[in-house]
């Protein structure tokens, strides 16, 4: 079993200075813990990655670094884009791929996303593939079908079983709304993801694939989600912008 994992997706928030102050608060919090029985990953915006990577190294913090996106080509005339190799150099070990905000605002589709997953693995980055149904699909009872399609498509260029990857189930209607599915519903979707992984050739779900939940995660609801057997961690948006709140979520989530 891998350790429970907590990812902070800051989206388009925080300057370099704010990122460095956040890391100082993390250091203070971590120094009070006897040991850390989980993985913590921060996903700042592109502009803060390099400084964050340096600070994490300088302070020897047990914190992973994720980018929020990448482009699937390695280099070339792609104005405004950033490749996996560049993210590694900036200190990243992870990259979020296919977040619903990218699918909706930037027209990313399953085909773009599968190329990005492949490019991330090629650059030695662990992809955090986001999947999730919208409100209409949920009402129509299509949740499991949508999730299965997104997982299959997203991983279709991945060598089954060999590489490390994370999947984040983020129902679109739960993002930033304060609404969430019940822990039982989340467990059902995570089980479906686990079954889909086996169908497409991943012999064992753990430890190569962690399945996270994201969407209005808070100090109040994290424990109920984390108690479910197929929930390996959380992808936290708004509530991760305060270091104190995020650390509380982590602490409650690991039952510390
Ligand atoms: P919120 O936690 O703000 O709902 O955002 C979730 C999310 O999109 C994380 O990637």
**pLDDT per position as a tens digit, 22-68:** 999 999 999 998 888 999 999 999 999 999 999 999 999 999 999 99
Q: What is the pLDDT of residue 158?
A: 78
pLDDT at 7 over 70: yes
Q: Which atom of ligand 1 is nearest to the CA of 177?
A: 4
Does 99 qualify as catalytic in the annotation?
yes
Ligand 1 atom showing the smallest separation from residue 101 Cα: 8
Is pLDDT above 80 for 159? Answer: no
- d(CA 87, ligand 1 centre) in Å: 22
**Six token digits for residue 75:** 């280099």
Percent of the chain with pLDDT over 70: 95
Using alpha carbons only, what angle is made at residue 52 by residues 47 and 54, rounded to the nearest 5 degrees? 120
Active-site choice (99, 108, 133, 230): 99
Task: Please give the DSSP secondary-structure letter assigned to residue 37.
Answer: -
Name 79's Cβ contacts closer than 8 Å, sequence gap at least 6: none
CA distance 252 to 241: 17
Closest CA to 202 of 235, 133, 245, 155: 155
66: nearest Cα among 2, 21, 130, 10: 10
Report whether 13 contacts 239 (CB < 8 A).
no
CB-based contacts of 74, cutoff 8 Å, min separation 6: 83, 84, 85, 119, 123
Helices (H) and strands (E) in the chain, counts: 10, 8
CATH superfamily to which 5-254 belongs: Aldolase class I (3.20.20.70)
Give the residue whose CA is nearest to atom 2 of ligand 1: 237
Q: Which atom of ligand 1 is nearest to the CA of 216?
A: 4
Q: Is the pLDDT of residue 207 over 60?
A: no
Determine the pLDDT at residue 209: 85
By percentage, how much of the chain surpasses pLDDT 90? 87
pTM of structure: 0.96
CB 223 within 8 A of CB 231: no
170 carries an active-site annotation: yes
pLDDT band for position 17 (cuts 50, 70, 90): very high
Distance 176 CA to ligand 1 centre (A): 6
- Across residues 83-105, what is the average pLDDT? 97
Predicted confidence at residue 206, as pLDDT, reads 47
Substitution site in 170, 171, 180, 246 for ligand 1 pocket (most atoms within 8 Å of beta carbon): 170
What H or E segment, with its residue span, contains residue 234?
A: strand 233-236
The confidence band for 203, taking pLDDT boundaries of 50, 70 and 90, is: low
Tokens 């209409």 locate to 136
Q: H helices of the chain, where?
A: 16-31, 46-58, 84-89, 100-105, 110-122, 135-139, 143-154, 183-199, 222-226, 243-253
Which residues have CB under 6 Å of ligand 1? 9, 99, 170, 175-176, 214-217, 235-239
Ligand 1 atom with the smallest distance to the CA of 99 is: 10
Active-site residue (options: 39, 170, 187, 190)? 170
**Domain ranges across the chain:** 5-254
């Amino acid at each position: 079993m891998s350790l429970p994992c907590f990812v902070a997706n800051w989206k388009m928030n925080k300057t370099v200075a704010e990122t460095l102050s956040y890391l100082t608060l993390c250091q203070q919090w971590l120094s009070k813990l006897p040991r850390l029985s989980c993985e913590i990953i921060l996903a700042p915006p592109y502009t803060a990655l390099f400084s964050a990577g340096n600070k994490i190294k300088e302070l020897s913090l047990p914190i992973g670094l994720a980018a929020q996106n990448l482009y699937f080509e390695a280099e070339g005339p792609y104005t405004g884009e950033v490749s996996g190799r560049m993210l590694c150099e900036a200190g990243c070990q992870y990259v979020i791929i296919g977040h619903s905000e990218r699918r909706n605002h930037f027209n990313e589709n399953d085909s773009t996303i599968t190329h990005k997953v492949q490019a991330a693995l090629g650059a030695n980055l662990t992809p955090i593939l986001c999947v999730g149904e919208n409100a209409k699909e949920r009402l129509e009872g299509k949740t499991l079908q949508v999730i299965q399609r997104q997982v299959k498509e997203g991983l279709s260029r991945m060598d089954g079983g060999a590489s490390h990857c994370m999947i984040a189930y983020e129902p679109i209607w739960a993002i930033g709304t304060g609404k969430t599915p019940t822990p039982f519903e989340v467990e059902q979707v995570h089980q479906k993801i686990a079954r889909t992984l086996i169908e497409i050739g991943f012999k064992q779900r753990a430890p190569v694939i962690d399945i996270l939940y994201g969407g209005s995660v808070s100090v109040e609801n994290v424990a109920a989600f984390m108690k479910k057997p197929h929930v390996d961690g959380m992808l936290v948006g708004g509530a991760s912008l305060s270091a104190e709140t995020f650390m509380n979520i982590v602490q409650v989530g690991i039952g510390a």
